[in-house]
Structure 1
Amino acid sequence: MLPSLRPGLVIGTPVGTLARTDPHTGRSEPWEYAVWTSPWHRPAVPATEAVASWNARTPSGTWLRAELRARYGDGTRTPWFTMGCWASGDEDIRRTSVGGQGDGRASVHTDTLAVDDPAAGTRFAALRLRLTLHRRPGGGATPLVWRAGAMASCVPDRSGVPAEEPRLAGELVLPAYSQNVHTGRYPEYDGGGEAWCSPACSQMVVEYWGRRPDAGDLAWVDPAYGDPQVCHAARATYDHGYQGCGNWAFNTAYAASYPGLSAVVTRLGSMADLERLIAAGIPVIASLSFAQEELTGAGYGTAGHLMTVVGFSAAGDVVCHDPAAPDGAGVRRVYRRSQWAPLWLRTRRRGPEGRTLPGPGGVCYLVWPARATHAQRAALAAAGVR
């Protein structure tokens, strides 16, 4: 890929050297490092969840660690929680989330820092982000980070969300990639099929904005495979700790690693937010979970899935590029607005045997050009993305 020319955080003078043993390769190496820590930020409403995002480039011999710390309403603080050890490639470290993190009041679930018992009233009153940039000792290379932040939400307890009246009709033109044509490919990256919805969607949106991996990026893919760029996206988003390609922050970091693109994980509060972004030309990768009978035309149920919203029909129904199709020809789907909107916006649902399961609550990935239009900047600002 072409190097980024954006200004951002780099290693100037390292503050020290640390030894790290990669938990997935067992390889121990020393790394020079430098640290940037944000000020405390208070969300508009005390939060129950936070998800970090970063946009960066890590040339060979470099990587970064992203951490979050929260301050509770009573003034006490969490420890620093690792939200990702990340590199755009996988030659130096294995990209990974870190399991088993918690302080008895909050825990990290792969890409999300969440209050353990929201009903008890525990909230994050403020958050701060820390980035530690690493390079091999004596090397001149450095990570470059041009965007970093966190989405903080007080997730409401809602199972029924009425679909708002439609305000927009129209459709964006995106590539159509099926995850299922890759079933069984590259088990070291979770084997395609239902596991690759997130990178398939990320790749569709990257190419919508006119970027794509070059021949060198794809040289490792079996030439017999169609849509090799989806294989590349799966490798570039694979979380060796989670053992899957669905880490939200790793997908937005992948998208933003292409020149001139920015990306975040966020949460939209309404269909109006979604329509405003589509009207501005920004497709939205949305997280959903549902039983098969809840979404007519899907033909499957899922505990967690990503699909890309590309527009709305004249009747206001939701036009998606759903990678769960058997092949590219079936990726474009039109789902009933009255069904799709509540599935996306609800935060709890009834599962098998009457169990209460979480819902996505409007979570999505947004990818847009760094040189955004006025309409795009306005739509992002209205959705809370600054």
Structure 2
Amino acid sequence: MNRPTSRRTVLTAALAAAATAGAVSSAGPAAAASPPRAPSAGAAVDNSSWHTCTDWRAGSGAGTRAVAGRRPGLVIGHAEGRTEYTDPHTGTTAAWEYATWTSPVHRSTVPATEVIASWNADTPAGTWIQIELQGRYSDGASTPWYVMGRWAAGDGDIRRTSVDDQTDGKSSVWTDTFSVDDPASGLRLVSYRLRLTLHRTPGTRLTPTVRRLGAMASDVPDRFTVPASTPGLARELRVPRYSQNVHAGQYPEYDNGGEAWCSPTSSQMIIEYWGRRPTAEDLAWVKPGLADPQVCHAARFTYDYQYEGCGNWPFNAAYAATYEEMSAAVTRLGSLTDLETLIRAGIPAITSQSFLKEELTGAGYGTSGHLMTVIGFTADGDVIANDPASPNNEAVRRVYKRREWENIWLRTKRYDANGKVRSGTGGVCYLYWPARPTPVQRRVLRSFGLL
């Protein structure tokens, strides 16, 4: 069986020194729209978002306007300017009209070492968006405007991309994550604002529609092990099962093929759990006869052309939110108790973890970065996961020991096979939910600061 390819080899290597010296976290900012949730033991997370007409009107727009309706959004009202963009992945230079929106400054309840932005948007052909972040440090200095992503749902106008080599000597952006370079110094990001630039083909009335913009900021304990939680739920959700390894060797232009598709495969499972899936027209590009062509589709449309992989966290969330009436965000949880709260409400989660083969009984592999879908808990409290790193769809459902799984997911430091200290994700996960959740689901999402 092929081992799952690392979600972010570059980020792990870059943070290794920081992990040795001090705390390594994974997170991102938030907005004043939702009350922060009291963090779980050991976690310090601030989620927030802008997604209502009131939120959009609270920001500063130049050419943008808020639109009401079942799902309020931000659109181009008029072109504020015109620019040329040379796509680094095609070499094509094209002219674009644009409008911008800048959020109010949000002071995070958590002075943060990392920030991850995420967004939900419709981008019809002829449109795309850019997402940027600017923050203020605890020493009073400000960051530059960092590009957190250039994104389109399709790949015909621009190639969706992260941007490398962004740093000011105090912080850097690694693919999709803003990170303080030296957490042990005590420097933190205390506030931030986000900026959207909406682009369209000149002379048209086309517009992207941004439904949600948010960020997650966090500073978690520096730890190799985490406290054990007490089991509190026995429930299993009926989530479709897909194996990434069924697609080994398929479409190698997207992250070397299916053996590296843990993230989009997990995304597709939860998209279908919520009753959404691509149409036959959407899938017409996939070679006939391939099993589960929707997984190939998810890989193509989550692919980050700079990272050269399908594991960009916000790109996966943005892909999920292209389906009708879907919302999505990247966040961090503090314990398996938090996951139990979501499962109890009928919300599965995609989690990121890294481990040696001997650290997770029954996995049969080790990985420096892998995504799974948590779908429930046994009566003994063990984790039921749809693990895409399985030989076939029937083998995807796994039961992993609670204590082992809890540690590999929540720790922020670990040892690799050579005994070197590496970073862990510290509870990072993606959450996808319907734009109109049930009252119970709404209460749970709000308790995490996601609504």
- Does the TM-score normalized on the shorter chain lie above 0.5? yes
Q: Is the 8 A contact 1:180 1:192 kept in 2?
A: no
**Residue 119 of structure 1 aligns with which residue?**
184
Shift of 1:270: 1.2
Shift of 1:5: 6.0
The amino acid that maps onto 1:323 is P
Q: 1:101 aligns with which of 144, 149, 166?
A: 166
Q: 1:216 aligns with which of 264, 281, 286?
A: 281
Distance 1:217 1:26 in 2: 26
Q: Is the 8 A contact 1:177 1:323 kept in 2?
A: yes
In the TM superposition, what whole-angstrom CA distance separates every residue of 1:191-247 from its partner, at most 9, and x where no partner exists? 323310000000000000000000111000011210000000000100000000000
Q: Is the 8 A contact 1:182 1:191 kept in 2?
A: no
Distance 1:354 1:227 in 2: 39
The amino acid that maps onto 1:97 is S
Q: CA RMSD in A?
A: 1.0
Q: Is the 8 A contact 2:133 2:195 kept in 1?
A: yes
Q: Is the 8 A contact 2:118 2:318 kept in 1?
A: yes
**Residue 333 of structure 1 aligns with which residue?**
398
**Residue 287 of structure 1 aligns with which residue?**
352
TM (norm. structure 2) is: 0.84
| Number of residue pairs aligned between Structure 1 and Structure 2 | 383
Shift of 1:65: 0.2
**Residue 295 of structure 2 aligns with which residue?**
230
**Residue 254 of structure 1 aligns with which residue?**
319
The amino acid that maps onto 1:378 is R
**Residue 45 of structure 2 aligns with which residue?**
none
The amino acid that maps onto 2:274 is W
Q: Is the 8 A contact 1:319 1:334 kept in 2?
A: yes
Q: Is the 8 A contact 1:173 1:208 kept in 2?
A: yes
Distance 2:228 2:293 in 1: 37
Structure 1 gap segments, 5+ residues each: none
Distance 2:417 2:449 in 1: 35
Structure 2 gap segments, 5+ residues each: 1-68
Moved over 3 A (4+): none
Distance 1:353 1:227 in 2: 37
In the TM superposition, what whole-angstrom CA distance separates every residue of 1:15-49 from its partner, at most 9, and x where no partner exists? 10000100000000000000000011111120000
Structure with more contact order per residue of length (Cα contacts < 8 Å, sep ≥ 6): 2
Q: Is the 8 A contact 2:244 2:261 kept in 1?
A: yes
Shift of 1:81: 0.4
Shift of 1:74: 1.8
TM (norm. structure 1) is: 0.98
The 5-angstrom pairing of residues 85-100 of structure 1 reads 85-100=150-165
Distance 2:233 2:291 in 1: 35
**Residue 373 of structure 1 aligns with which residue?**
438
Q: Is the 8 A contact 1:162 1:338 kept in 2?
A: no
Distance 2:150 2:105 in 1: 22
**Residue 32 of structure 1 aligns with which residue?**
97
Q: Secondary structure at the residue paired with 1:354?
A: coil
Query: Is the counterpart of residue 193 in structure 1 residue 258 in structure 2?
Result: yes
Q: 2:422 aligns with which of 334, 351, 357?
A: 357
Q: Is the 8 A contact 1:49 1:155 kept in 2?
A: no
The amino acid that maps onto 2:224 is S
**Residue 270 of structure 1 aligns with which residue?**
335
